[in-house]
Structure 1
Amino acid sequence: MPDKPNVLLVMADQWRAEALGCMGDEQVRTPNIDRFANDGLVFERAYTPNPVCSPARGSLFTGQYPHEHGVISNTYHKLFLPDDRTTIAECFRDAGYETGYIGKWHLDGTIDGPGYVPPDRRHGFEYWRGFNRGHPHLRGFPNVAPDGSVEWEGDREPDIETDYALEFLDETEGGPSFLTLSWGPPHTPYEAPAEYGELYDPDELTLRPNVPDEMADEVRENLVEYYGMCTWLDDEFGRLLEGLEERGLADDTVVVFTADHGDMMGGQGRYAKGVPFEESIHVPLLVRYPPEIEGGRRSTSVVNLIDLMPTLLGLCDVAVPGSVQGTDRSAHVRGEEPASSTATYLEGNLPYDDTWRAIRTDECMLAIDRTLTTTHLYDMESDPYQLENLAGDNDVADLEDELRWRLFELAYAYDDRFIKARHGRQHEPEERIPLSDGR
């Protein structure tokens, strides 16, 4: 076994946590990920800091909230991840790891076409089989030249990306290595390969109770394709795990499966993401490392994707930079500490008038708008599908006040300057929220 483990971070795009067998969905077929869950640790309450692609990815790689790392939207002013942000790849590279990135990047601004990402904007990833953006699931993999021209390879993007991942494992066999594999599905377009879509019958699918009746037929048709893409990636994930076994790397590799955000899929009458509802903000997070993680464990700790960078560095005994806002959960992952985190801070639509902030606790979810007015309040224990908005209900006024207080504590702790400025103008100095570890 090498002195430090390899790390394989597998990230799907727009895969909500609920769409996994191991997370309770009895309709979707994800046998490989379910077996993986039985061999490792499942975080049942993992959340994205911002349920949109670019902000979430920036947070995952920097351990910072979007308001801190600066990528506050997919499209706003064609933002790039700033050069001065320390990333997880840079930390691993500087610790002697070989680093690699495969798939969709979406941190190099919004441009036409898949987009070439120059080496000086790859933020520590040395082996590179990436492209900036787009979802050519069934068109193939886009090999992008510096002039932006594209040579399409094969006909199924994730299959080729998995091939590249296995090639990377061969090329870095001596280790240690850190590889991020970023698959495009099950993001729109909702179009699975035919043999996977045929696995599901729309007439037999049960929808979540928060899908309006008038959308039911349409949602079932889309869910067939969404589930089909999930099963497709599950097969590719199985191929990766088999590749680790064949190369004798299974016990030497920390493997993570997650997603940047979820998909509403008709919930609350919506598609896509970007809103403070569970289907949008709740993401899968599963970790396996046989030497240190007991199989079959499930954590109820409320965690955030900004915690992933320091946690992976902690598992590999690599120093965590001071710029990180997330928390190192490696002791909890190893089973040395019990679940302790009971709340996390969320934000969305930062540059726009409909910007929001939210707090998700182990029991409730509260969201506020740009005027600091409570817009959403749900008892997630009794109302997991968020059917009854309690915001402004006098019967739960004390609960609302408590959650608002905790939300503002977190806003101050994470230096959310927009909220601090708004809150500061509304309160006398002695009434402002004190700094504390509200996590």
Structure 2
Amino acid sequence: MKQASKFEKIAARCWNLLNEGKPFTPIFILGTLLLFHVQSWGDLSFWQNGILALLLTVPLFILFFIYDFPLMLRNYLWIPFVVFVVLWPAIHIPLLFFAIGLYFFFTVFFWGTFYYHLRIGTSWMNFTRFWKLVLKNSDSTSGNAQEQLPKILLALSFWHMFYQSLTSANSFRVESLYGPSLFLLGFWLYTFILHRHLFDWKPEMYSTYTHENEKPGDGLSDKVVVIVIDGMRKERFYQANTPFLDKLRKGGTEYTQMETVYPARTVVCFTSMFTGTYPFEHGITSNMVWKLGIKVESIFDSLRKVGKKGRLLGIAHLVDSLGKDVDTVTAVMHNDLADRNIIDRSKKIMKEEDPDLFITQLIGTDQTGHSQGVFYDEYIQKIEEADKLIEEFVGWLDDEGKMKNTTLMICADHGQADGIGGHGHLDEGERFVPFFLWGPHIQSGQVIEDRESLVSVAPTLAHLLGTPFPSHSRGKILEKAFQQSSNEKREQHEENHRFFTGTQ
């Protein structure tokens, strides 16, 4: 399987400008204005007045960039637009309808059909399903119609109001800004109150660092293998036919209330898992990484301190966060081949590099959810394919003698709601993820219903491998999963032997 090329890494960053909702909004509005007024490009006054009107609209862009308007809060975006229309009824209907048409062309046809066909091989008829995902979508991507449309319509109307004022007047009058300024001030206050009093569903964060409450262990495992099934929704996993994963889950320790972080975007989640802390501290706040690299230590840094090695095999986006510790895989291939190739590459890394910690990201399930939705058979099929591939990989590790004192950690980085991507704002199906451990030091048949957080992954890995905690780790060691006595360890060792020899 090919690595992601330098071109693909750059292309992925460029695509995130259109994929992530915050940069998309101003880019789309600017593109809409340029396309709608294409006949005026040769008119110098259009550029002068248009740019000035755009500058006067910047406070609105800043507001949209700072505030998320997640889930139900997006419905409140229509109120300012209605107020604007009442106060300034001379809106430009053709411009707004052009923007709506362009938006659905971009999301449904260009993104949902053309892009996904070229990248992962979806059908040329994917648009017949994708439009439903755009309308249902509640996450933080540009394909969230219920959030993006009121933002776009309000910003375009605001720009047009200033543009008309500048082109129809002989000279610009400062007093003409009084009304719009009061509107903007009221909108900012309205937004602040909404987010202060109604945005209350973010996961509770740990306030102290791991090292203040825990002591590093001497190391229980020679190796830890972490398999992240990207975007696997928990109840859909339970509905799927996954005999091998069920065997690991029931033969190890399962955490049924494992919570992801906010925002639940892949690069954010992976970074939080392997640094042990939150976006405000490690610096990665979306898949759009404005400044490459993290601000804190990762579990890979902790491993280096004790002469051990870790590798992560994942998509190009993860390089933006975790840099040289990532072996990349190209995401430009038919989705039916992606996880197969990732497992083959995982075997190659384990054979040639033999890291103490190996993390691999299976992407087929997530990409199916993005392109085709989570409530269709294709999504379940990808989870079932992952089960077979993981069984093959773990069996191969055992044949290679790499499972004698190895702990397996199986999880998702986030779940998925219905809609494009379906993850970011912690809608139904996103927040709690499948999570279980299996190995010679892990208690068998244990189900833990305590609410835990994925930031506990890094300190738990440090405990298992005998490394210091990453510098800013805040998570807890998942100590309830560990064996407590030598008898329990011996019994688990015998159980693991029977697991691989098929004598259970």
Q: Which TM-score bucket, shorter chain as reference?
A: 0.5 to 0.7
Determine if the alignment matches structure 1 residue 178 to structure 2 residue 360: no
Q: Which residue of 2 aligns with 1:67?
A: 280
Which residue in the other structure is 2:424 paired with?
Answer: 274
Q: Is the 8 A contact 1:87 1:124 kept in 2?
A: no
Deviation (angstroms), 1:336: 4.5
Distance 1:171 1:188 in 2: 29
Q: Report the counterpart of residue 16 of structure 1 in structure 2.
A: 233
The alpha-carbon deviation at position 265 of structure 1 amounts to: 2.8
Q: 1:281 to 1:3 in 2, by over 3 A?
A: closer
2:465 to 272, 291, 316: 316
Structure 2 contact 458–470 (Cα < 8 Å) conserved: no
Question: Cα distance, 1:92 vs. partner?
Answer: 1.7
Contact 1:314 1:328 in 2 (8 A): yes
Judging changes above 3 Å, is the alpha-carbon distance between structure 1 residues 182 and 30 closer, same or farther for their aligned structure 2 residues?
A: same
2:317 maps to 1:138? no
Q: Is the contact made by 2:368 and 2:378 (CA closer than 8 Å) also made in structure 1? A: no
How far has the Cα of 1:31 moved from its partner? 1.2
The residue number in structure 2 matching 1:54 is 267
Q: Aligned pair 1:332/2:451, yes or no?
A: no
Paired residues, number: 266
Counterpart code for 1:181:
T
Q: Unaligned 5+ residue runs, structure 2? A: 1-218, 486-504
Are 1:285 and 2:466 counterparts?
no
Counterpart-to-counterpart distance in 1, 2:345 and 2:272: 25
Query: Which residue of 2 is the match for residue 260 of structure 1?
Result: 413
Residues 327/124 of structure 1: CA separation in 2 closer, same or farther (3 Å cut): farther
1:32 — aligned with what? 244
Q: Is the CA contact (8 Å cut-off) linking 1:47 and 1:283 kept in structure 2?
A: yes
* Structure 2 equivalent of residue 231 of structure 1: 384
Give the superposition deviation at 1:160. 1.5
Return the alpha-carbon distance in structure 2 between the equivalents of residues 135 and 281 of structure 1.
25
1:136 Cα deviation from its structure 2 partner: 3.7
1:42 matched to 2:195? The reply is: no
SS in 1 for 2:397: helix
Deviation readout 1:183-220 (Å, 9 max, x if unpaired): 1121134599xxxxxxxxxxxxxxxxxxxxxxxxx968
**Does the 8 Å CA contact 2:369/2:422 hold for their aligned counterparts?**
no
Q: Is the 8 A contact 2:257 2:449 kept in 1?
A: yes
Separation of aligned partners in 2, 1:183 and 1:11:
6
Unaligned runs of 5+ in 1: 110-120, 140-154, 193-217, 338-439
Name the structure with the higher strand share.
1
CA distance in structure 2 between the aligned counterparts of 1:225 and 1:3, rounded to whole angstroms: 39
Q: 2: CA distance between counterparts of 1:225 and 1:288?
A: 28
Equivalent of residue 341 in structure 2, options 160, 167, 170? 160
Within 5 Å, which residues of 2 pair with 1:35-434? 35-50=247-262, 51-75=264-288, 78-82=290-294, 84-109=295-320, 122-123=322-323, 125=325, 129-131=327-329, 135-136=331-332, 138=334, 156-172=337-353, 177-190=356-369, 222-265=375-418, 272-290=422-440, 292-329=441-478, 331-336=479-484
Q: In the alignment, what sits opposite 1:406? A: none
Deviation at 1:15, TM superposition (A): 0.7
**Does the Cα contact within 8 Å between 2:293 and 2:322 map onto a contact in 1?**
no
Cα distance 1:96–1:295, how it changes in 2: closer, same or farther (>3 A)?
same
Counterpart contact for 2:256–2:435, Cα < 8 Å: yes
Compared CA separation, residues 302 and 177, structure 1 to 2 (3 A)? same
Q: What amino acid is aligned across from residue 232 of structure 1 in structure 2?
A: E
Report the residue type matching 1:48 in the other structure: T
The match for 1:5 is: 222
CA–CA separation in structure 2 for the residues paired with 1:10 and 1:130: 15
Letter in 1 for 2:404: D
More helix by share: 2
Q: 1:101 aligns to what SS in structure 2?
A: strand
Cα distance change on mapping 1:248 and 1:55 into 2, 3 Å = same
TM-score (norm 2): 0.49
1:102 and 1:277 mapped to 2: Cα distance? 28
Report the RMSD for the aligned CA atoms in angstroms: 2.8
Q: Give the 3 Å change call, closer, same or farther, for CA 124–226 of structure 1 in structure 2.
A: same
Amino acid at match of 1:19: R
- Measured in 2, the distance between the counterparts of 1:163 and 1:219 equals 27
Task: Return closer, same or farther for 1:253/1:124 CA change in 2, 3 Å cut-off.
Answer: farther
Identity of aligned residues (%): 21
Is 2:296–2:471's contact at 8 Å kept on the other side of the alignment? no
Change (3 A) 1:89 1:169: same
Cα distance in 1, alignment partners of residues 379 and 244 from structure 2: 17
